[in-house]
Amino acid sequence: MTISKIDIAMNVYGKPYQTALTLRSLMKYSGQHVGKIFITLEKNQPEGFSVDHLKSLLADLAIEYYTPRMYLGWTEKIRRPWIVQTLLNFPFYRHAIRYQYAWEKTKAKYLFLSHNDMVYHADVLSGYLENLQGRIAVGHVGQCWNCPAHEVHCDGSRYWSYRPAMEEVRDLYVGWKADRAVHQGQLADDKASWPLPECRLNEQAALIDMEMARPITVPKGPCAPIGTMTMDIGIKWFKEVALQGFQVSHDSYFNYARHSMFSVAGSGHGALFDRDLYMHEEKMAKEMLESAGY
């Protein structure tokens, strides 16, 4: 069976060498599936970042670069829901949301979302295509390390069948160490008890069936853009498509890639606020990019 090409969506805030390493390693293992690459360059960038330098590192790849008119950063700053709902009608706002420009512009059946600090060591696109199983998306489901239902009641493969009432969810969170869901009001009476608060499709590496997802997602449908930030990126989209009856297949990106492998914390977020850490991660990525001969 011939599989149509998969387009790639990536947002870039700095990290030119890590971005190049992400795409070079993805192409090494999954390049046979890759069609067009969309890179959204955040309007604001860290000191010293050069768009021309990034483009020179990726000059041979078919990339469409886009810079939105607004900068939302890692957390959207407009918190009044009615204002956001109004702004979603306008492309200048929507396209500032992570992955949204590629979401609306791709003509491919499948869109692959990737962070720009991944190092792929296996063919993630072949694996994801095999494990999609006719569902709306595939990737690592759930931030289960933050969830009190993990292992005993639920995991990424069981989220569809474990559907507790809100009373049970509240009981699970009593004394639970990772209680951001409590502090952010996710256990209130007006909230849906399922999917659980930490359920999402982790967008570090995720494959979306656009023929299923586009009609039900803004701007075509009622579900929030996948890059919408609430308690975390993607949670709102995941919940809303689940409540529409669409299931996501769990296949962890851990099987195919390392995320933020140069960070002492295992997360790229800290480098956004620590210049020394940022420079260290970039230096390590440059060395790996050159030594691996991508």
Same domain for 236 and 100: yes
pLDDT digits (tens, 9 = 90+) for 202-244: 999 999 999 999 999 999 999 999 999 999 999 999 999 999 9
Same domain for 135 and 49: yes
CA pair distance 10, 23, nearest whole angstrom: 10
- Please indicate, yes or no, whether the overall pTM of this predicted structure exceeds 0.85: yes
* List of residues 6+ apart from 167 with CB closer than 8 A: none
DSSP string, 115-164: -SSEEE-S-HHHHHHHHHTTSSEEEEE--GGG-TTBTTTB-TTTTTT---
Same domain for 114 and 233: yes
Q: Which of 251, 254, 228, 252 is nearest to 239 (CA)?
A: 228
Same domain for 261 and 180: no
Same domain for 268 and 155: no
Lookup: tokens for 165: 């009432």
Same domain for 220 and 103: yes
Which residues form the domain of 156?
A: 143-199
Same domain for 154 and 121: no
| Domain assignment of residue 1, yes or no | no
Same domain for 216 and 85: yes
CB 99 within 8 A of CB 11: yes
Ordered per-residue pLDDT tens for the chain, 294 residues: 566 799 999 999 999 999 999 999 999 999 999 999 999 999 999 999 999 999 999 999 999 999 999 998 866 656 677 788 899 999 999 999 999 999 999 999 999 999 999 999 999 999 999 999 999 999 999 999 999 999 999 999 999 999 999 999 999 999 999 989 999 999 999 999 999 999 999 999 999 999 999 999 999 999 999 999 999 999 999 999 999 999 999 999 999 999 999 987 655 566 666 889 999 999 999 999 999 877
C-alpha pair distances (Å), 199 with each of 113, 115, 145, 234, 260:
17, 19, 11, 9, 21
Same domain for 213 and 155: no
Same domain for 55 and 107: yes
